[in-house]
Amino acid sequence: MRYLVTGTAGFIGFHLAKLLLERGDEVFGFDSVNDYYNPRLKEARLEILGKYPNYRFERKNLTDAESVGAAFKDFQPEVAVNLAAQAGVRYSLEHPQAYIDSNITGFLNVLEACRHFPVKHLVYASSSSVYGNRDNTPFSESDSVDEPISLYAATKKSNELMAHTYAHLFGVPATGLRFFSVYGPWGRPDMAAYIFAKRIWAGETIPVFNEGNLYRDFTYVDDIVSGVVSVLNTPPRPNAKGVRNKVYNIGNHRPEILSRFIEVLEEKLGKKATIEYLPLQPGDVLRTCADITEINRDFGFVPKTPIDVGLGKFAEWFKAEGYKY
């Protein structure tokens, strides 16, 4: 099949594209390769993907509506997967415009392309951040998500609303996936596993917020990608109003306290961390936990990787490759 995947220089996009290419599908990658984090890491991912003859790549920004439309028109994807976004909660406090450009304008351009060059299915990345600072866990898709505590979360909630609108008005079948704390080899340097590993490896102090009393539904990237793949070729059925639009949680369903996460990482790296405890940061949530009942029911999704296994694989990659970035 033909898949257009935005964000193939990014963490999840790279892993998804690689799996699709390995099984013989055609992939058109679309990514601006910006400098939000070290572009050398993104280029290294792209170098791996570029070895596959069934991979094409366009180095453009999603805000360029003409280029997005041209990619859809030329490649004629059967399925579009939008994983490109300006990520990160704390970065949104200082750089709000980047989130409006990438996550709102960029996603609008993807929706418009799906409207004018119809696809069988649009799958896009949402985030567990949409749940805000809730007391009740696990987080369910039926919970209200009207109180985001970061602009990043607000843009992801907006994506869900935009997708529903295009499904309703123009018949674009769309599925949003609320990712929960993804980690693994080739991961993002702004996320916990990478930040901690790099500082532990260098003998530097690691910042730990709220005395380490934060719970995250850490989900290994291979589990995430298997879940995405299971969804790709099954567009939502029409709901009672005839709209083909759906949102799923996709997470581990086993939250870990941050202090335990650090202990396992220390063990796998073979080095002890020097920790600086800091207050809870604006935009942070205390606990995340995915209710995965719906995606399990509809697609049989079951995460299989505990953190001792997942962090072991991450640490192996980091010691061989990741420390360079």
Confidence of residue 136 (pLDDT cuts 50, 70, 90): confident
Given a cut of 90, whether residue 325 has pLDDT beyond it is yes
Give me the residues paired with residue 125 across strands.
177
Query: What is d(CA 184, CA 316) in angstroms, rounded to the nearest whole number?
Result: 10
pLDDT tens profile 50-100: 999 999 999 999 999 999 999 999 999 999 999 999 998 888 989 999 999
Given a cut of 80, whether residue 43 has pLDDT beyond it is yes
Cβ-contact 31, 10 below 8 angstroms: yes
Q: Residue 153: CB partners within 8 Å, gap ≥ 6?
A: 89, 127, 129, 130, 132
User: What percentage of residues in the chain have a pLDDT greater than 70?
Assistant: 100
| Residue 304 CB neighbours (<10 A) | 11
The DSSP letter of residue 176 is E
Mean pLDDT, to the nearest integer, of 115-127? 98
Instruction: Identify the residue with better confidence: 33 or 281.
Output: 33
The DSSP letter of residue 105 is I
Query: What is d(CA 264, CA 311) in angstroms, rounded to the nearest whole number?
Result: 7
**What is the reported pLDDT for 134?**
84
pLDDT tens profile 273-305: 999 999 988 877 788 999 999 999 999 999 999
Domains assigned to the chain? 2-180+220-253+291-304 (3.40.50.720)
Buried b (16+ CB within 10 A) or exposed e, 122-160: bbbbbbbbbbbebeebbbebebebeebbbbbbbbbbbbb
Residues marked active site are found at 152
**What is the reported pLDDT for 316?**
98
Q: Is 246 exposed, middle or buried (0-12, 13-18, 19+ CB in 10 A)?
A: buried
**What is the reported pLDDT for 285?**
79
